[in-house]
Structure 1
Amino acid sequence: MDVSNLLNQLLGAAGGQQTNGMGAGQEAGAPGGGGVSGFLSGRGGAALAGGAMGLLLGSKKGRKMGGKALKYGGVAALGMMAYKAYGNWQANGSQGAAQSPAHTPARTPAQTPALPQTVDRVTGPALEQHSTAVLKAIIAAAKSDGHVDDRERQLIEEGLRGMTSDPQLIQWVDRELQKPLDPVEVAAAASNVEIASEMYLASVLVIDDQSFMERSYLDALGRELQLPPELLAELNTQAAAAQANA
C-alpha cells in the first residue's frame, strides 16, 4: 500500500510534489495547492480529490486546521513540526530519564542524542510505517465526535477511489472507519517516540478542543502513547502556533 502518497494527497501537498526527506530547515512547499488549511477555511477544496478529507472531518470543515505549516507541505510539514517539538524537548535536557520506556531506552549522560527520525526524514518502509500510523490517528480523531455514519463512509470511499487505485488501501481505510474508537488500539501503532509524536500532533490538529468528547479522546490518546509531559507540551505548542497562523 502506498499510504504516504494518499496521505500527501489528503493533506494537500502542493502540486503533488514529493515531500519526504525534506530537512528541518527547508520551507515546506511553495504557493500553489490549497491544502488542508485552505480547504477547511473554504478556500481550496479542489486540492482534495472527491472531498474525502472534508467528509472525514465532517463538521470541522469550516474550521481552520494546521495553518500555513500544513497548507503547502503535506506529510513533510507535519514531520517538521514534530521534529521541532522533539528537538526543543531534547535541547531542554528532557530525553534522559524522562524518556518514555515504551519507545526508546534512556541514554547515559555521555551519549549524544540522535537526531529525531520524523516522517520528513525517512524513506521507504519507514516512511510507510510513519504515514500509516499518522493516517490511523487522523481517522480515529475524526471519529471522536461520533459523526461518521455508513453513508459518510461510502462517500469517503468514493472520494478515495479518485486518489488511489489500490483496493487494499481503500479497504484498510474503511476498516479503520468501522472500528470502535479505542485510544489503546490507536496508540499501538506507535513503535517509537517520533511516530507517537506525529500521531499526537496530527490528532491535535484534527480535534475540536471545545468538544468534550474529542478533548477526552485526545487526553486518553496522549496517555496511551506514553509521551512525557514535557514533550506533549512542546507538541501542543507547535500545533497552537500552526493554528494561529491559519
Structure 2
Amino acid sequence: MNPESVRREIEVLTADLISAGLCVDQNFPVLTTAGESAEVNFGKTTDLSVTLKNIAYVEAYAVLVKNRSYNFRLIDGGLVQLLYQFQEGSLCRHRLAFFPSPDLLEYQNNSEVYDQDDLYGDVIERNVVTVPIRFDYDPEAAADYHHPISHLTIGQYKNCRIPVSGGIGPFFFINFILRSFYNTPFRKFCSEIKESANTFAETITSSERRHLHIRVSDSAQA
C-alpha cells in the first residue's frame, strides 16, 4: 500500500460507515507530503499525546471529543483514529486507535435510538468495561520480542505490546473493531462496508512468532 491508496481506503470506509448509520461524526482523511515524507491523518492531530499522559481516561477522552481528534465517532461514542506515515513510499509508522466512550454519554443523550433496536444491546450492558486499544507500527523503536515493530497495546498499559505479524491496513483494523466490539450491528451492516485485502509486508521475528501473536492476514502484501 502507498500513501494515496491508504487515503482512498480510509475515505471509502468513512463513507460506508456513515451510510450504514454506524458513524455520527467524522473527519475525512488528509494526505500531506513534504519531500520524500508523507502522512495520512484526519487533520486534527495536535493533541494526540493527551491519551499517553498520566491523567484519567475520561479526561483524555473528553479532550479528543472536544477537539474532534478522530477519523470518526461511532454511534455509541467510540472514537477511531487512523494515522499512517511513509518515507520514500514505504510505511515507517502507524497509529490505529479505538477509544470507547467511558460513560456511554451517547446512549444517555440518544437512548431512544438504542432502546428501539436491540442490535445495540451489547454496547449498553452494565458489565461492559471500557478498554482503549491501539495498534502501533514503529521500526525505529523496535527491540526483538520486547518491542515488536508492529504490536497491540490494550488499556494504555505502557509495557503491553502483543506482537502483530506486520503493519495493518485500514480495512483490517476497522473490521477488527466492528467484529470485536460491534458484533451484532456489524452482522447487520457488513454487506455495506467494502472489503479490502490491502495490507503491508510481514515484520514479525522468529522469536515473536513462537509466542502468542496476532496475524493480520494469510498472505501479507507489500
Q: Structure 2 length as normaliser, TM-score?
A: 0.25
Flag the structure with higher helix content: 1
User: Which structure would you say has the larger RCO, counting Cα contacts within 8 Å and 6 or more residues apart?
Assistant: 1
Q: Structure 1 length as normaliser, TM-score?
A: 0.24
